[in-house]
Amino acid sequence: MKRLLTAEMVQISGPWVTNGTPARKALLALPECVGILPRVEEAHKQLHGAQPGQGDARGAEISAEAAEVDARHDAVVRGVDFVLQGIALLVGDSARAREIEAARALLTPEGVSIISTSYRNEAGAAALLKSRLGGAADVKSLLASVVVDKKKTLTSFVNERIAHGERLGVLEDERAQLRLTATESSAVANVNARNAWIRAVNALIANAELAGISPAQDTMIFGALREAETKANRRGKAPAVEPTPGAADPNAASPSPVPS
């Protein structure tokens, strides 16, 4: 049974745990099997419960916050660059314009296209910017000289960009950890659920044999299981098909399909 796929297990035990099915009725008519059915039902539920979830609450919160932080980060990157561009255009060819171009090159070495990259890349770019600014006294002085709104200078907005980038990095780290934890937990739960199912089904088969079921009853109750096991064993013994070289070649012979 270990070669059965989890989905096959669910399909096989479905009729045993569903009221009104012929297999369920046949099992309920066997006193030896009635006591095992709760274990089968529980194992069937475990298989469903062990499957990866469609998303958790914290994951959704992270996605929502990251989208909001990224939107503001992108607006700040573009806004600061546009302000500097505007000043450079207004002052014309001058020392001030050249200082501004140097500042733009330091703030966004790859241009504002940084806002179209991943959250992780934006976080890394913010960290690098923070490092570059540490030794750029002229640029820091220029940013502090440009007042945008109510005494708020470009320095404030650049610091805001860095803070948003750092937050995106924190959120990406948490998202990655959540995914890793969820994957590991799901894998362990799936193995445990499969083992519980196999134990329950083996017990059900043994008790059905003790009850002396007829061949017809065996086929009704366990026919799907027997057929699935035969196919699963065949899958396990099938030789690997050698890969065909290159792209599909209409003149190359196709490998024989592996029987299912």
User: What does the pLDDT profile of the chain (260 residues) look like in tens digits?
Assistant: 888 999 999 999 999 999 999 999 999 999 999 999 999 999 999 998 887 654 567 888 999 999 999 999 999 999 999 999 999 999 988 999 999 999 999 999 999 999 999 999 999 999 999 999 999 999 999 999 999 988 899 999 999 999 999 999 999 999 998 888 777 677 788 888 999 999 999 999 999 999 999 999 999 999 999 999 999 888 776 554 444 444 433 333 334 443 43
Q: What is the DSSP letter of 18?
A: S
Helix/strand/coil for 5? coil
Judge if pTM exceeds 0.95. Answer: no
